[in-house]
Structure 1
Amino acid sequence: MISQLSWKIGGQQGEGVESTDRIFSTALNRLGYYLYGYRHFSSRIKGGHTNNKIRISTKPIRAISDDLDILVAFDQESIDLNARELRSGGVVVADAKFNPTIPEGIDARLFAVPITKMAEDLGTSLMKNMVASGASWALLGLPIEVFNKAVEEEFGRKGPAIVEKNIEAVKQGAEFVLEQAGGPLEAFKLEDADGIQKLFMIGNEAIGLGSLAAGCRLMSAYPITPASEIMEYLIKKLPKFGGTVVQTEDEIAAVTMAIGANYAGVRTMTASAGPGLSLMMEAIGLAGMTETPLVIVNTQRGGPSTGLPTKQEQSDLNAMVYGTHGEIPKIVIAPASIEDCFYDMIEAFNLSEQYQVPVIVMTDLQLSLGKQSCDALDFSQIAISRGKLVKDAPALEGHALFKRYEFTNDGISPRILPGEKGGIHHVTGVEHDEVGRPSENAVNRQKMMDKRLGKLDNLAIRDALRIDAPHDNPDLLVIGMGSTGGTIDAAREYLAEDGITSNHVTIRQIHPFPTHLLKPLMTSAKKVIIIENNATAQLAGQVKMNVGLAEKIESLLKYDGNPFLPLEVYKACKELS
């Protein structure tokens, strides 16, 4: 028996690949397995190769696997593109309709199943995904009743007749392949899971849930891959809590609406990807100048311009840190797990109001769209902090105005909501004095700049660095951000087998940079390797600028649209060590 297995389904976009993966993984989740999924898809609605890969394990996992055990293929292209991942003795379950063949040099067993014909005989070719699912599920020897329950939940809204036909499709696929194979394959039999159903979601859903828990009641946004699922989640959930989602005409409207709503006292967010973030830059400066709380989620994808809208990249870091003209305080944080996506949204809303600054939550496509198991969320950790929000302002004499931008020791001024008695003040995007009146006075200008920029001097978010440092003087310190953390940990297991000692840091507070926390870890390591999905080593640039020690630093970069695999990280680290 084995403790983990990798399964992939491939075909043309629109063929049911996504629904097959969803039902298959849902059934596995019900058995208590840990899952990590990654979806490769084209930037079009229908057509173009797509595949979904799931890693299945009896233990927690946070990375896709290097190899593949079972490939389900709806066309020859899926075999040709993905067969190289198959481990020796792997299995291909393919539709007999296209006379499937295994490429030369690949040691794999082929099961040609009349997937389309069986589905058509049952009434529609649309059910071929259920035939294929039944075939691959049967080879694993897992209980079919669990899979059928997942089918019922998927198709129940369409009525019992549709459910019965799909269950019959599963049955026929299973029976056919079991007859060919002579029963379930012993080499692919998984150890029993713990039976405890896990939370199973994509990062974008966790972001939406975290926003809801943080008290967000309005989302203004424009749809864009790979951020749209945040909108889709909150469209369903926010109305149940008295909130709403507004789809704006563009990202400029989205961010300015969010600024206005936050000014009025409603916790509001927007979410986008690189192209949308570019359009928001002037408004982010407005939030910085007016010291209005603002939360933005940026789900990174391949750029520039339209770039690779459905592929992995981490190339917006510099835009998030340096974007906007002039100089404003802002916070950029980077979740590294599904759990982080939830908790970091709560922290982002709190930080934005405590410091009265824009907070950008930086994710990437792999984290935002990869579906993963996660432990139960601890709602007792949720605490709402609205910072220096004034409820009962003292009465003002005569025509005096409220000192909304008052100079204070910590640089953070009292904030009051529109309509509160005694709270009248000016709000403008130009430089201003303590009550908000426009001012070009040189002394005032310098004091206001120092006030704003000094607010974040002592900022330290929860887990600014996620540190795994078992060694005092390791051969390597491996640094990453976002979704690379699990992949790095898997690669370090290989390194340990070779006798190479390594520590691992995931940087979660991107800006302001946690120099004092990272420097001792870098100093103690013989060499530092920074791993990131971009072409210009943006994270390494931040490290060199803020920490120094450039002579120790090597970069491992990947910018072909695909996430890192553990084996390629291991090989690169070994070569550089």
Structure 2
Amino acid sequence: MISQLSWKIGGQQGEGVESTDKIFSTALNRLGYYLYGYRHFSSRIKGGHTNNKIRISTKPIRAISDDLDILVAFDQETIDLNAHELRENGVVVADAKFNPVVPEGVKARLFPVPITAIAEELGTSLFKNMAASGASWALLGLPLEVFNKAVEEEFGRKGPAVVEKNIEAVRKAAEFILEMNGGPLPEFQLEPADGKQKLFIIGNDAIGLGAVAAGCRFMPAYPITPASEIMEYLIKALPKFGGTVIQTEDEIAAVTMAIGGNYGGVRTMTASAGPGLSLMMEAIGLAGMTETPVVIVDTQRGGPSTGLPTKQEQSDLLAMIYGTHGEIPKIVLSPSTIEECFYDTVEAFNLAEKYQVPVILLTDLQLSLGKQSSELLDYNKIVIDRGRLVQGDLPELEANKMFKRYELSEDGVSPRSVPGQKYGIHHVTGVEHDQEGRPSESAINRKQMMDKRLGKLKNVKVTNPILVDAPHAEPDLLIIGMGSTGGTIDEARSRLDKQGIKTNHITVRLLNPFPVEELQPYLEKAKTVVVIENNATAQLASLIKLNVGYADKIKNLLKYNGNPFLPAEITTFCQELSPVWQR
């Protein structure tokens, strides 16, 4: 029996690949397996090759696999594009309708199954996704009743007749392939899972959950890949808690409305991707100048311009830190797991109100849309901190005086009132202003206000600004990454350690203000520093050099072809740098 297996299904976008993967992985999740998924899809609604790859394991995993055990193909293009991933004696389960052929040089077993024919016998080709799932499920020797339960839950709303026909498609395909092979494949029998309940969600859903838990009750947003699922989740969730979502006419309206919601005292967020954040930059400057808290999610994708809307990239980093004109305080957080997407969203709201600044939650497409297993979330960890938002009555104002909304303070954070609060009246303007918000071009006032605002960053305290796994006092290699690269780096490190290469790993979670004091001692002790990132210009490495130094030690591994890193790519690169390997 084996402890893990990799399965992929592919076809033309719009012919059921996504729903096939969904039910297959849901059933595996019910059995208690750990899962990690990657979805490759085109930036159009219908047509174009798409595939979903699921890694199945009895232990926690946070990376896609280098190779592939089972490929389920709805067309020949799927085989041609993906067969190179198959390990020796891997399996192709293909629709017999298109007379499938395995490319020359690929040592894989082909199982032509009448997937479309089975579906059409039941009344429509739409049932072929369930037939395909049933065939591969049977090869694994897993109990069909668990799979059928997932089918019932997915299609139950369409009535018992539809459910029965989908289950029949599963049964017929399973029987066909078992008869063809003489039973399940012994080498693909998975060890039993632990049976524990786990979440199986995408990062965007975890962010939506975190927003609700944080007390967010308003989300203005404009749909954009790969951020739309946050909006879609909150459209369903927020009304249950007295909140609402508004689809705005564009991202400029979304962010200004979010700023207005927070100014009114309601925890408000918006979410977008690179092109949308470009449009938001002027308004983010307004939030900085008016010291209005706001939470903004940037789900990075391939750029520039429209770029690669459905592909992986981490190229917005410097734009999120330096994109606004002028100088404002800004906090940029980068979660790296499903759990962090949840807890960091809560923390983002607390930080925004505590320091009265814009907080950007920076994810990437793989983390945002890659479905993966997660431990159950602990709502007892949730703490709400509204900073210096004044609760209750304010002191009576002197004649002709206003509330000092921008009062100079030692830590740069001033008391905050909401509209309608007695004795809380003050000016709000995007131009430079005094402590009561009145416009002022005084040189003395300007310096005081700039120092006040920027001084907030000196006091920022964030939970785990870096994640450290450093078993070696003086490692051969210190590998640094951010976002979804964390799990892939961990897997590569496990291989490197077995080869006698001493490695430490740091995931940078706080990108602004940069965690200099936390990072510095680890860079100092490492012989070589390898920075892993999905962009072409080494943006994270540039930040490290700018803030911490050690430029002579830093080596870059960059990938910007739209695909996430594979463990083997990191392993090979690090081997070539290691003094152990070079010997």
Q: Which residue of 2 aligns with 1:551?
A: 552
Are 1:521 and 2:514 counterparts? Answer: no
Q: After superposition, what is the alpha-carbon deviation per residue over 1:444-487, rounded to whole angstroms, capped at 9, x for unaligned?
A: 00000000000110213111000000000000000000000000
Q: After superposition, what is the alpha-carbon deviation per residue over 1:66-97, rounded to whole angstroms, capped at 9, x for unaligned?
A: 01000000000000100000011100000000
Q: Which residue of 2 aligns with 1:218?
A: 218
Q: Which residue of 1 aligns with 2:434?
A: 433
Instruction: Give the superposition deviation at 1:398.
Output: 1.3
| Distance (whole Å) between structure 1 residues aligned to residue 296 and residue 437 of structure 2 | 25
Counterpart code for 1:480: G
Q: After superposition, what is the alpha-carbon deviation per residue over 1:316-337, rounded to whole angstroms, capped at 9, x for unaligned?
A: 0010000110000000000000
Q: Which residue of 2 aligns with 1:297?
A: 297
| Distance (whole Å) between structure 1 residues aligned to residue 63 and residue 312 of structure 2 | 14
Aligned length: 577
Partner of 1:419: helix, strand, or coil? coil
Kept after mapping to 2: 8 A contact 1:312/1:561: yes
Partner of 1:226: helix, strand, or coil? coil
Instruction: Give the superposition deviation at 1:496.
Output: 1.1
Counterpart code for 1:530: V
Kept after mapping to 1: 8 A contact 2:331/2:513: yes
Q: After superposition, what is the alpha-carbon deviation per residue over 1:164-213, rounded to whole angstroms, capped at 9, x for unaligned?
A: 00000000000000011110000000000011121110000000000000
Instruction: Give the superposition deviation at 1:524.
Output: 0.6
Q: Which residue of 2 aligns with 1:70?
A: 70
Instruction: Give the superposition deviation at 1:573.
Output: 1.0
Q: After superposition, what is the alpha-carbon deviation per residue over 1:365-423, rounded to whole angstroms, capped at 9, x for unaligned?
A: 00000000000111111000000111221001212100000001111000011111110
Partner of 2:352: helix, strand, or coil? helix
Counterpart code for 1:576: L
Q: Which residue of 2 aligns with 1:375?
A: 375
Partner of 2:529: helix, strand, or coil? strand
Partner of 2:484: helix, strand, or coil? helix
Kept after mapping to 1: 8 A contact 2:10/2:73: yes
Q: Which residue of 2 aligns with 1:343?
A: 343
Counterpart code for 1:290: T
Instruction: Give the superposition deviation at 1:146.
Output: 0.1
Are 1:502 and 2:497 counterparts? Answer: no
Q: Which residue of 2 aligns with 1:333?
A: 333
| Distance (whole Å) between structure 2 residues aligned to residue 199 and residue 363 of structure 1 | 19
Tell me, which stretches of 5 or more residues in structure 1 are unaligned?
Answer: none
* Equivalent runs, 1:107-146 vs 2, <5 Å: 107-146=107-146
Kept after mapping to 1: 8 A contact 2:139/2:188: yes
| Distance (whole Å) between structure 2 residues aligned to residue 262 and residue 460 of structure 1 | 22
Q: Which residue of 2 aligns with 1:471?
A: 472
| Distance (whole Å) between structure 2 residues aligned to residue 104 and residue 576 of structure 1 | 35
Partner of 1:482: helix, strand, or coil? coil
Q: Which residue of 1 aligns with 2:173?
A: 173
Kept after mapping to 2: 8 A contact 1:474/1:526: yes
Counterpart code for 2:381: Q
Q: After superposition, what is the alpha-carbon deviation per residue over 1:260-317, rounded to whole angstroms, capped at 9, x for unaligned?
A: 0100000000000000000000000000000000100000000000000000000000
| Distance (whole Å) between structure 2 residues aligned to residue 164 and residue 84 of structure 1 | 37
* Equivalent runs, 1:203-352 vs 2, <5 Å: 203-352=203-352
Instruction: Give the superposition deviation at 1:558.
Output: 0.1
Counterpart code for 1:461: V
Using the aligned pairs only, state the percent identity: 77
Partner of 1:270: helix, strand, or coil? strand
Kept after mapping to 2: 8 A contact 1:460/1:514: no
Q: Which residue of 2 aligns with 1:195?
A: 195
Tell me, which stretches of 5 or more residues in structure 2 are unaligned?
Answer: 579-583
Kept after mapping to 2: 8 A contact 1:2/1:188: yes
Counterpart code for 1:394: P
| Distance (whole Å) between structure 1 residues aligned to residue 571 and residue 333 of structure 2 | 27
Q: Which residue of 2 aligns with 1:49?
A: 49
Instruction: Give the superposition deviation at 1:494.
Output: 1.1
Kept after mapping to 2: 8 A contact 1:411/1:454: yes
Are 1:361 and 2:372 counterparts? Answer: no
Q: Which residue of 1 aligns with 2:581?
A: none
Partner of 2:5: helix, strand, or coil? strand
| Distance (whole Å) between structure 1 residues aligned to residue 264 and residue 411 of structure 2 | 24
Counterpart code for 1:284: I
The farther-off stretch of 453-462 and 531-540 is 453-462
Counterpart code for 2:522: L
| Distance (whole Å) between structure 2 residues aligned to residue 474 and residue 56 of structure 1 | 32
Partner of 1:91: helix, strand, or coil? strand
| Distance (whole Å) between structure 2 residues aligned to residue 398 and residue 459 of structure 1 | 36
Are 1:82 and 2:87 counterparts? Answer: no
| Distance (whole Å) between structure 2 residues aligned to residue 573 and residue 12 of structure 1 | 37
| Distance (whole Å) between structure 2 residues aligned to residue 576 and residue 125 of structure 1 | 53
Kept after mapping to 1: 8 A contact 2:118/2:172: yes
Q: After superposition, what is the alpha-carbon deviation per residue over 1:125-151, rounded to whole angstroms, capped at 9, x for unaligned?
A: 000011110000000000000000000
Counterpart code for 1:450: D
| Distance (whole Å) between structure 2 residues aligned to residue 103 and residue 490 of structure 1 | 30
Kept after mapping to 1: 8 A contact 2:535/2:560: yes
Instruction: Give the superposition deviation at 1:241.
Output: 0.3
Counterpart code for 1:413: S
| Distance (whole Å) between structure 1 residues aligned to residue 118 and residue 390 of structure 2 | 68
Counterpart code for 2:314: Q
The farther-off stretch of 455-464 and 70-79 is 455-464
Counterpart code for 2:553: K
- Alignment root-mean-square deviation, CA: 0.5
Kept after mapping to 2: 8 A contact 1:312/1:366: yes
| Distance (whole Å) between structure 2 residues aligned to residue 390 and residue 230 of structure 1 | 30
Q: After superposition, what is the alpha-carbon deviation per residue over 1:186-244, rounded to whole angstroms, capped at 9, x for unaligned?
A: 00000000111211100000000000000000000000000000000000000000000
Instruction: Give the superposition deviation at 1:497.
Output: 1.7
The farther-off stretch of 191-200 and 439-448 is 191-200
| Distance (whole Å) between structure 2 residues aligned to residue 10 and residue 576 of structure 1 | 36
Partner of 2:444: helix, strand, or coil? helix
Q: Which residue of 2 aligns with 1:417?
A: 418
Kept after mapping to 2: 8 A contact 1:336/1:481: yes
Kept after mapping to 1: 8 A contact 2:411/2:459: no
The farther-off stretch of 567-576 and 243-252 is 567-576
| Distance (whole Å) between structure 1 residues aligned to residue 339 and residue 307 of structure 2 | 29
| Distance (whole Å) between structure 2 residues aligned to residue 157 and residue 573 of structure 1 | 51
* Equivalent runs, 1:390-401 vs 2, <5 Å: 390-391=390-391, 392-401=393-402
Partner of 1:456: helix, strand, or coil? helix
Deviating above 4 A after TM superposition, structure 1's stretches of 4 or more consecutive aligned residues are: none
Q: Which residue of 2 aligns with 1:150?
A: 150
| Distance (whole Å) between structure 2 residues aligned to residue 326 and residue 171 of structure 1 | 64
| Distance (whole Å) between structure 2 residues aligned to residue 460 and residue 12 of structure 1 | 48
Q: Which residue of 2 aligns with 1:16?
A: 16
